[in-house]
Amino acid sequence: MQMRQNMATILNFVFVIILFISLLLVVTKGYREPFSSFTEGPTCKEDIDCPSISCVNPQVPKCIMFECHCKYIPTTLK
């Protein structure tokens, strides 16, 4: 009887771990590598890697967390 309880406890633990890992993958969108085919949009390492065609003035392409984003860079007037 004790052996069955131990096996049930171990199985419950394994199910909880599998559930936690599944939820973690869903939240992180399965992110693996910067140049992986799983990421959305253009990937980059530096700002120069981002295409400038996708941004409308006064926005500038910026590399943030290995993804290209258009960001507004304020200009200072003197």
Kindly list the averaged pLDDT for each block of 10 residues, start to end, along the chain of length 78: 85 94 76 47 80 80 86 73
The predicted model scores a pTM of 0.41
Q: What is the pLDDT, as a whole number, of residue 39? A: 42
Do residues 60 and 70 lie in contact, with contact meaning Cβ atoms separated by under 8 Å?
yes
Q: What is the pLDDT, as a whole number, of residue 16? A: 95
Q: What is the pLDDT, as a whole number, of residue 20? A: 92
CA 25 – CA 23 distance, rounded (Å): 5
Q: What is the pLDDT, as a whole number, of residue 77? A: 61
Could you tell me the CA-to-CA distances from 36 to 26, 32, 39, 66 in Å, in that order?
A: 16, 7, 6, 10
